[in-house]
Amino acid sequence: MTLQLIELADSRDGQVSPDPANQLVTRKYLLSGTDDELTARQTVESSLSAFLDGQAFNNYRLSPRGAGIWNVEASYGKKKNPGLVTLNFDSGEEKIKITRAPYGSAYYPTWTTTTSQLFAAQIRFSGSGYALNDVLTITGGTHTTAAQVKVTAVDALGTIAAVTVQTVGSYTVIPDNPLSVTGGAGSGALFFGVWVTLGGSANPIVNYKGALGIKSHQGEVKAEGIDREVQAFGFTMQVVFGPTFPLTSAFVALCDAAAWHTNSAPIDVTIAGIDFPFATGELLFKGATGMQKSGGSGVAGYSDFEGEVTLKFGKQKNLSNVAIAGIPGVTKNGWDYLEVISEEDVEAGEFIPAAKQINVSQIYDQADLTALFIGAPTIASFSPTSGNAQTPVTITGTNFFGVTAVLINGTQCPYFVVSSISIQIIVPDTAPAGAGPITVKASGGSVNSSTNFTVT
């Protein structure tokens, strides 16, 4: 029996589209001459062309009718290309709890004049030779009236055991602790002063030095923090895998090993045609989800194998030599953990949480994340280098993954991705005569050929 594959007369009935290049259609054939399925498949796969009326082959279905006759349905048209990357991103906001601002200041009404007064004095060094009821004057600072303390208890050697504030004073600039004194019968006493700053209404005004959500109760001050919306950037990449871009066990293992790592070196990647630069430590890979599925055989070794994997990422900007909570020179990679260590400080008679130290800790290990991204395509050559409409052209190069368009001198062409290093195109009827570059647009970027193709 002679093997024959014939397209049926009604193969294209009812399959009309205003945009045929993007239509997925079915072509119907009748195969005769064999009862053997393997022979039938080999005949179909060697007979069907990679292009039909400018549309690329996708897959086919074979079903027996009996007496050596088979029904064949072949699918042509646009579908997801292996290596195609779809980008989804969110540059919105997220809520976090923060307890300290980058800096803290106290602001007063312009009509208010502020003065500081001595609230309490704690003995730092007791000195010697002092007498009961000695009045000691505080030195230093800028004042209209100096503050004074009165000795209320001494021992046999004149060592001060207790004092009380005698005169609160009036200061625009308070003296630094420890406080020195003059007067009295002895020498060597030093004190730690607690000052209160008063506005024009005589109400204490406290500089909490960046602490947020202050709650004060019975002399205890806490920085409870506030909920604050901050800028956040996260994105996912959905990658289509297929025969020309297989989902391998090595790639799955890479996703597992690289999960919850940051980039160990600067990386500049193109995702769905958009360029993203990331400095070291800014990019965090949060893992991947996906599904692999495979089916029957197809034309010339192509199958209806498909798989899709979603890769999840987040970005935080690096900080370099910035001041936080009044502490200068802070540098951190984007995903490092920054902690402000606070201790009690005294302001206006209150013990407030004041920043004393900042710790920066690396909580995510670093790894090379470049293999998670598809590199930019390259064009090494194409053949032939000239031709008229409907001329087939073969392009060779690298990284032909997720190809979205191929153009000759700016005119789109029907194309078929044979492999990651080969693309077949057809010179379109609409291509104007003349010379121009061939352009390949893919998930990893866009590239123009270094030499021109001439449309004759």
Q: What percent of the chain has pLDDT over 90?
A: 34
Q: How far is CA 216 from the centre of its chain?
A: 39
What's phi and psi for 254, nearest 5 deg? -65, -45
Residue 348 contacts residue 205 (beta carbons within 8 Å): yes
Condensed to tens digits (0 to 9), the pLDDT of residues 41-82 reads 888 888 887 666 656 677 788 999 888 899 998 887 655 666
Residue 110 located in a structural domain: no
Burial of 312 (0-12, 13-18, 19+ CB in 10 A): middle
Among candidate residues 205, 223, 249, the one where a domain is terminated: 205
* CA 396, 402, 408, 409 torsion-angle sign: negative
Distance CA 345, CA 280 (A): 37
Q: pLDDT value at position 341? A: 64
Distance CA 438, CA 382 (A): 9
* Separation of first and last alpha carbons in the chain: 44
Mean pLDDT of 282-302: 65
Question: How many domains does the structure of the chain reveal?
Answer: 4
* Residues 302, 312 share a domain: yes
Distance CA 151, CA 135 (A): 6
Kind of pairing between the strands at 233-241 and 85-90? antiparallel
Residue 139 located in a structural domain: yes
Degrees, nearest 5: CA angle 174-179-185: 130
* Residues 164, 308 share a domain: no
Residue 238 contacts residue 306 (beta carbons within 8 Å): no
Q: pLDDT value at position 133? A: 95
Condensed to tens digits (0 to 9), the pLDDT of residues 171-229 reads 988 998 899 999 999 999 999 998 887 755 444 445 555 555 656 555 555 555 555 55
Q: Which residues pair with 438 in a beta bridge?
A: 408
Distance CA 413, CA 407 (A): 6
Tell me the pTM.
Answer: 0.53
Residue 110: pLDDT band by 50, 70, 90 thresholds? very low
Q: How high does pLDDT run on average in the chain?
A: 79
Give the CATH number, domain containing residue 144: 2.40.10
- The answer for residues whose C-beta is within 8 angstroms of residue 321's C-beta and 6 or more apart is 328, 329, 330, 331
Task: Pick the more confident residue, 19 or 408.
Answer: 408
Distance CA 230, CA 225 (A): 14
| Residue 150 reports pLDDT greater than 90 | yes
* CA 26, 30, 35, 38 torsion-angle sign: negative
Reading the block at residue 287, the tokens are 């893992």
Q: pLDDT value at position 80? A: 61
Q: pLDDT value at position 108? A: 40
Q: 269: how many CB neighbours lie within 10 A of its CB?
A: 21
* Residues 226, 179 share a domain: no
137: nearest Cα among 191, 176, 173: 191
Q: What percent of the chain has pLDDT over 70?
A: 70
Reading the block at residue 422, the tokens are 């080969």
Residue 57 contacts residue 44 (beta carbons within 8 Å): no
Q: Amino acid identity, residue 42?
A: Q
* Residues 294, 250 share a domain: yes
- 179: Cα within 13 Å, side-chain hemisphere: 24
DSSP string, 84-111: -EEEEEE--EEEEEESB-S-------TT
* Residues 64, 158 share a domain: no
- The answer for residues whose C-beta is within 8 angstroms of residue 224's C-beta and 6 or more apart is 99, 213, 214, 215
Residue 365 located in a structural domain: yes
Ranges 289-293, 298-302, 337-341, 388-392, most confident: 388-392
Residue 134 contacts residue 148 (beta carbons within 8 Å): no
* CA 23, 289, 269, 96 torsion-angle sign: positive
- Rounded to the nearest 10 degrees, how much is the dihedral formed by the CA atoms of 175, 178, 183, 185? 180
Residue 200 contacts residue 111 (beta carbons within 8 Å): yes
Residue 92: pLDDT band by 50, 70, 90 thresholds? low
Which structural domain, as residue segments, surrounds residue 447? Answer: 374-455
| Residue 299 reports pLDDT greater than 50 | no
Residue 109 located in a structural domain: no
* Residues 257, 322 share a domain: yes
* Residues 325, 183 share a domain: no
Residue 366 contacts residue 264 (beta carbons within 8 Å): yes
Among candidate residues 190, 205, 220, the one where a domain is terminated: 205
Q: pLDDT value at position 410? A: 92
Give the CATH number, domain containing residue 434: 2.60.40.10
3-class DSSP state of 9: coil
* Residues 278, 425 share a domain: no
Residue 331 located in a structural domain: yes
Residue 89 located in a structural domain: yes
Residue 248: pLDDT band by 50, 70, 90 thresholds? confident
Distance CA 259, CA 369 (A): 10
Task: Pick the more confident residue, 244 or 191.
Answer: 191
* Residues 268, 415 share a domain: no
* Residues 234, 356 share a domain: yes
3-class DSSP state of 384: coil
| Residue 19 reports pLDDT greater than 70 | no
274: nearest Cα among 242, 240, 235, 241: 235
* DSSP 8-state assignment for residue 300: G
437: nearest Cα among 376, 352, 379: 379
CA dist 413 to 53, 186, 405, 407, Å? 12, 101, 8, 6
| Residue 1 reports pLDDT greater than 70 | no
* Residues 440, 319 share a domain: no
| Residue 303 reports pLDDT greater than 50 | no
Residue with tokens 């909490």: 208
* CA 418, 424, 428, 433 torsion-angle sign: positive
Kind of pairing between the strands at 261-263 and 366-367? parallel
Q: pLDDT value at position 165? A: 95
